Amino acid sequence: MNFEKINALAPDLIIANKEENVKEQVEQLAEKYDVYISDINNLEDALLMINDVGNLTGQSKNALDLNEKIRDGFEKLEAISSRKRKISAAYFIWKDPWMVAAGQTFINDMMRYAGLRNVFSNLERYPIISMDDLQQQNPEMILLSTEPYPFKEKHQTEMERLFPGKNIRIVDGEMFSWYGSRLLKSVEYFYSFLKNGK
């Protein structure tokens, strides 16, 4: 974190995230600036963050309107996904070591809306797993996210060699892990996922 650049900007407000930022650095910034710290583990947390930032920036009405659009989209999405059998899935975020999104994560909550059951939801956060662990869980679908690790077709091919016959897909990581206004696009993506993903 470049404190000199931050000081030169003299911000009225700094928005930090518990998961993404170093605690000590945020505490140092809070000594000089107003700092809002988000902690996003599910859709409700994301909507609360939008509301809070709207209030802090004098954009309460816009935040409320955005939240209503997002909530309406996800409620309609959930109505569709709840009528379908959840597909067991593993969601990979990293390679070397292999890491997945597990329970108590925003991704885990988004998987539910996309009609998926996370086979590693009993674990916490972003554990390192082995291919033996994956074999034991035996998910119907293996998802390789485009971020934070940029999984590509070569990784999909590698996984297909390890697990022939499995439904292995590269998915847009932004749709599963970015919150804020991007959630409007996530709704559209998950609709397509529910329609074509199984």
pTM for the complete prediction?
Answer: 0.89
Tokens of 57: 């920036």
Please check whether residue 66 lies inside any domain of the structure: no
**So what's the pLDDT on residue 155?**
95
- On average, the pLDDT of the chain sits at 93
Please check whether residue 184 lies inside any domain of the structure: yes
Q: Are 13 and 56 in contact (CB under 8 A)?
A: yes
Tell me how far apart the alpha carbons of residues 75 and 77 are, in angstroms, rounded to a whole number: 5
The verdict on 102 and 175 lying in the same domain is yes
Please check whether residue 127 lies inside any domain of the structure: yes
The verdict on 29 and 86 lying in the same domain is no
**So what's the pLDDT on residue 192?**
85
- Give me the CATH number covering residue 183: 3.40.50.1980
- Helix crossing, 43-56 with 60-81: angle to 10°? 170
Tokens of 86: 């959840």
pLDDT in tens, 50-98: 999 999 999 999 999 999 999 999 999 999 888 888 899 999 999 999 9
Predicted confidence pLDDT, tens digits, the chain (198 residues): 788 899 899 999 999 998 888 888 989 999 999 999 999 999 999 999 999 999 999 999 999 999 999 999 999 999 988 888 889 999 999 999 999 999 999 999 999 999 999 999 999 999 999 999 999 999 999 999 999 999 999 999 999 999 998 999 999 999 999 999 999 999 999 988 777 755
**So what's the pLDDT on residue 161?**
92
Count of domains forming the chain: 2
**So what's the pLDDT on residue 21?**
86
**So what's the pLDDT on residue 198?**
52
Query: How many of the other CB atoms lie within 10 Å of CB of 146?
Result: 16
The verdict on 104 and 154 lying in the same domain is yes
Residue 37 DSSP code: E
The verdict on 87 and 184 lying in the same domain is yes
From 176, 194, 187, select the one nearest 83 (Cα to Cα): 194
What is the span of the domain harbouring residue 94?
81-196
Instruction: Note every long-range contact of 77-83, with CB atoms under 8 Å and residues 24 or more positions apart, other chains counting.
Output: 77/113, 77/187, 77/190, 77/191, 77/194, 78/113, 80/115, 80/191, 80/194, 81/112, 81/113, 81/114, 81/115, 81/190, 81/194
Please check whether residue 187 lies inside any domain of the structure: yes
The verdict on 29 and 87 lying in the same domain is no
